[in-house]
Copies of this chain bind each other. A is one copy, B any other.
Amino acid sequence: EMSTGIASSLQLLSSSFSFPLSTYTSQATMKNIASKLRLLFLYLIACEAYSTRPIHSVVVVGGTHGNEYTGVWCIKQLEANPGETEKYDSLNIKTLLANPEAFMANRRFIHDDLNRQFSAAKLSIDPDGTHEAERARQLDELLGPKLGEPKTDLVIDLHTTTSNMGITLIVPETDVVMTQAAAYVLEKCENAFGDRAQILMHPLPDRHARPNLGSTAMHGLTIEVGPVPQGVLRHDAVEKTQHAMHCLLEFLDRRNKGEDVLGELKRKYPDNVVPCYRSAQAKKPGEMSGKISWPSADHNPNFPSVLIHKSIQDKDFQIIKRGDPLFVNLDGSLIRYDGSHGDEVHLIFVNEGGYYFEQSGTGIGVA
């Protein structure tokens, strides 16, 4: 549902902001672009008034998932080397280890996924007694509050995935500044590390509805790097994460100082559009976005009763078509993709270790 995706994306965005829709008004034209490039396009330049507001207070967060060690290393590295952040003198940069207890236990979480606790609805009800529900309230007080004027302009949340996602910059739908920032970082990362960088937009336009930690702040951007095993530090993944983070800080600092970073972006993206994937809407509890879920073993809800077929392993951001092999049963028989998310969809987070937990929503992501 590529073309529908574009249409609804533009509609959602245009309900909040005014866009220079210019040449791309007809559904037919958009369909044509989508089928040609197999990407969604996101307009770069939107409401200028909103997008010129400065961003000063930044919190770099690691260990939102306690066994994603890369982010923890990166914040420790910043803490040990104050010069690394002081050079961005228009920014006030702090670091935060989001879930120290889960980090010490080398686990994704103690009871529940911390990165699913921050919707206004969930923060408004009595906590459910889990460690992460309690911790979310502390963090909302520290970084937010979500229901009020947040103390933090931007949370940069550092994640890793066991899937082959390269460097993925996850931005919320309708956040124009983060989209611009991601466009800036994307181009720099592609130059530094080749073509394995992309922007992924989560379709949750209302900040209050977003469940992720970064949504407590005015802006949130997630840097997701993979493949990295859980509970393991890889030098190359650390370098990619650091590079993306520094490019982002550089963009914000230059923007605060009135440099024409938008003008630079317009020259780099002459059509004023930036390639961007848009994840499917969440359907089930625990999901950040829509997934092709898998059946789990009777006795263990966190152990799949199928294998992800080897033909799609490591094939993140590639297309699966209705009828293609998807899963393998214990008896060796195939389960094929049934087109439930559209005849052709992009797979994302293929075999992400965190998505083996029902608390995080089991399955393969779709864009």
A interface list, Cβ under 8 A from B: 69, 72-73, 76-77, 80-81, 103-104, 106-107, 162, 227, 229-236, 238-239, 297, 300, 302-304, 307-310, 313, 328, 330-331, 351, 353, 356-357
Contact = CB atoms under 8 A, between A and B. Distances in A.
Identify which of A297, A303, A304 gathers the most chain B CB atoms within 10 Å of its CB.
A303
Given A80-B331, A107-B107, A238-B307, A232 B162 contact: yes
Contact of A313 (B81, B235, B308): B235
Q: How many copies does the complex hold?
A: 2
Given A80-B331, A331-B80, A331-B81, A310 B231 contact: no
A308 to B, nearest CB: 6
Contacts of A235: 307-310, 313, 328
Nearest to A238: B307
Contacts of A69: 303
A167 B234 CA distance: 22
Nearest to A309: B235
Contacts of A231: 230, 353, 356
Contact of A229 (B230, B328, B330): B230
Contacts of A106: 302, 356-357
B303 A351 contact: no
Given A229-B353, A353-B229, A310 B239 contact: yes
Contacts of A351: 232-234
A115 to B, nearest CB: 17
B310 A236 contact: yes
Nearest to A330: B80
A76 B304 CA distance: 12
Given A231-B353, A233-B351, 19 more contacts: A72-B303, A73-B307, A77-B330, A80-B330, A103-B300, A103-B303, A106-B302, A106-B357, A229-B230, A229-B232, A229-B353, A230-B230, A230-B231, A232-B356, A233-B308, A234-B313, A235-B310, A235-B328, A238-B307
A330 B81 contact: yes
12 contacts: A69-B303, A73-B307, A76-B297, A81-B330, A104-B300, A230-B353, A232-B351, A233-B304, A233-B307, A233-B351, A235-B307, A236-B313
The 7 A-B residue pairs whose C-beta atoms are closest, nearest first, are A229-B229, A235-B310, A162-B229, A80-B330, A235-B307, A232-B353, A231-B353
A72 B307 CA distance: 12
Nearest to A329: B80
Contacts of A330: 76-77, 80-81
Identify which of A80, A229, A239, A331 gathers the most chain B CB atoms within 10 Å of its CB.
A229
